[in-house]
């Protein structure tokens, strides 16, 4: 007797896992872990999808932890700060997920395809079933496997539209990035650079006084934003590569691994060695 065929979404998850393991430099972000860890107040500056493939993820919403299992999608419709846990599978001892940033050009293209006025909607993070999005995700993955970046972008636009149709209207609501987010984006391009206030002022065509005033209105300072951007890039390197902590520290502008570790622990509440896949 033939074994029953696997559900389509299970085959998709297997294909995504194989792709993530064999293509570490692909347009999606591969997140790995050997130990469970919690990150507090992680700034997510763009809309994002993440799919746990091995192990599971949790995030805190309104003081309640929400679980995201394989077969579910972690949707962040808009920029926000979240507490997040990544938890390895009990049987294998590994955590694997793929993250797909929904960049501004993708969301803008999707907005132009909505014929009527955009509906209002929540921007809260959510855990949702993968099943309504299997076709779009499969098209995206097949385009990547075929090295067809244009079709991959088209598939992501279709995915954003499908999510809008499913009621996640906040995903396509345009919103200007905060000044803090703009600066974090600049620093992320070259986190090892010795960023000065003058560098930021020139890039933003803004006086020092205006820069300080606007950041103060957001409850922060330039120094804190630059440090946060460097540590955020440190998290990305720790979670997506096998680089040792010392190398990660150097790449994000810290000559001392111990200083980086201390600052990282103070910021996120976890030692960077817990995230290292070395």
Does residue 2 belong to any structural domain of this protein? no
Same-domain status, 191 and 241: yes
Q: d(Cα 253, Cα 83) in Å, to the nearest integer?
A: 25
Strands 126-129 and 72-76: antiparallel
- pLDDT for 13-57, tens place per residue? 999 999 888 876 566 788 888 899 999 999 998 899 999 999 999
pLDDT band of 263, cuts 50, 70, 90:
very high
Q: Is residue 87 part of a domain?
A: yes
With both helix axes pointing from N to C terminus, report the angle between 222-240 and 257-268 in degrees, rounded to the nearest 10.
100
pLDDT band for position 268 (50/70/90)? very high
Task: Give the pLDDT band (50/70/90) at residue 278.
Answer: low
Separation between Cα atoms, residue 230 and residue 234, nearest integer Å: 6
Answer whether residue 1 is part of any domain.
no
Claim to verify: residue 52 and residue 147 sit in the same structural domain: yes
Q: Say what the pLDDT of residue 170 is.
A: 87
Mean pLDDT value of segment 259-271: 94
| pLDDT (average), residues 4-18 | 83
Residue 276 is predicted with a pLDDT of 76
Same domain assignment for residues 108 and 137: yes
Among the ranges given (16-30, 152-166, 262-276), the one the predictor scored with the smallest mean pLDDT: 16-30
Q: pLDDT by residue (tens digit) across 58-114? A: 999 888 999 999 999 999 998 899 999 999 999 999 999 999 989 889 999 999 998
Q: What is the pLDDT of residue 4?
A: 56
Residue-level pLDDT at 122: 78
d(CA 260, CA 262): 5
Supply the pLDDT for residue 6.
67
DSSP 139-175: HHHHHHHTT-HHHHHHHHHHHHHHHHHTT-GGGG---
Task: Tell me, yes or no, whether 157 and 215 share the same domain.
Answer: no
Among 172, 191, 221, the domain-final residue is: 172
Dihedrals φ, ψ of 195, to 5°?
-65, 130
Q: How many domains does the chain have?
A: 2
Q: Which of 171, 202, 198, 200 is nearest to 185 (CA)?
A: 200
Domain enclosing residue 61, as ranges = 8-172
| 147 and 187 share one domain | no
Residues 41, 111 within the same domain:
yes
For residue 182, which of 205, 197, 204 has the smallest C-alpha distance?
Answer: 204
**Among 121, 109, 116, which Cα is nearest to 77's?**
121
> Quick check: is 3 in a domain?
no
Closest to 82 measured CA to CA, from 27, 127, 121, 120: 127
**CATH number of the domain where residue 238 is located:** 1.10.10.60
Last residue within a domain, chosen from 152, 172, 192: 172
Please state the pTM of the whole predicted model. 0.88
How confident is the prediction for the chain on average, in pLDDT?
A: 90
- Residues 209-236: tens digit of each pLDDT: 999 999 999 999 999 999 999 999 999 9
* Average pLDDT of the residues in 128-153: 93
Sign for the CA dihedral angle at 79, 82, 88, 90 comes to: negative
pLDDT value at residue 121: 75
Burial class (CB in 10 A: 0-12, 13-18, 19+), 258: exposed
Q: pLDDT band at 154, cuts 50/70/90?
A: very high
**CATH code of the domain containing 89:** 2.60.120.810
Residues 210 and 160 in one domain: no
Q: Which of 127, 233, 114 is nearest to 174 (CA)?
A: 114
């Amino acid at each position: 007797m033939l074994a029953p065929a696997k559900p389509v979404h299970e085959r998709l998850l297997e294909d995504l896992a194989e792709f993530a393991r064999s293509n570490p430099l692909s347009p999606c972000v591969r997140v790995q872990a050997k130990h469970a860890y919690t990150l507090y107040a992680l700034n997510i500056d763009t809309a994002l999808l993440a799919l746990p493939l091995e192990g599971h993820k949790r995030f805190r919403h309104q003081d309640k932890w929400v679980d995201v299992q394989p077969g579910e999608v972690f949707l962040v419709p808009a920029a926000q700060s979240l507490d997040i846990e990544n938890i390895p599978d009990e049987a294998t001892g590994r955590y694997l997920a793929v993250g797909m940033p929904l960049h501004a050009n993708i969301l803008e293209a999707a907005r132009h395809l909505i014929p009527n006025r955009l509906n209002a909607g929540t921007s809260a993070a959510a855990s949702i079933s993968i099943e309504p999005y299997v076709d779009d995700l499969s098209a995206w993955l097949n385009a990547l496997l075929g090295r067809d970046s244009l079709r991959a972008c088209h598939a992501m636009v279709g995915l954003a539209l499908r999510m809008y149709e499913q009621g996640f209207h906040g995903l396509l609501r345009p919103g200007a990035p905060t000044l803090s987010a703009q600066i974090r984006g600049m620093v992320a391009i070259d986190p090892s650079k010795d960023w000065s206030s003058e560098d930021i002022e020139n890039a933003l065509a803004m006086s020092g006084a205006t820069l300080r005033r606007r950041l103060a209105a957001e409850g922060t300072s330039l120094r804190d934003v630059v440090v946060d951007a460097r540590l955020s890039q440190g998290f990305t390197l720790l979670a997506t590569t096998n680089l040792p902590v010392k190398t990660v520290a150097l790449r994000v502008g810290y000559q001392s691994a111990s200083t980086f570790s201390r600052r990282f622990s103070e910021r996120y509440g976890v030692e960077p060695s817990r995230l290292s896949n070395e």
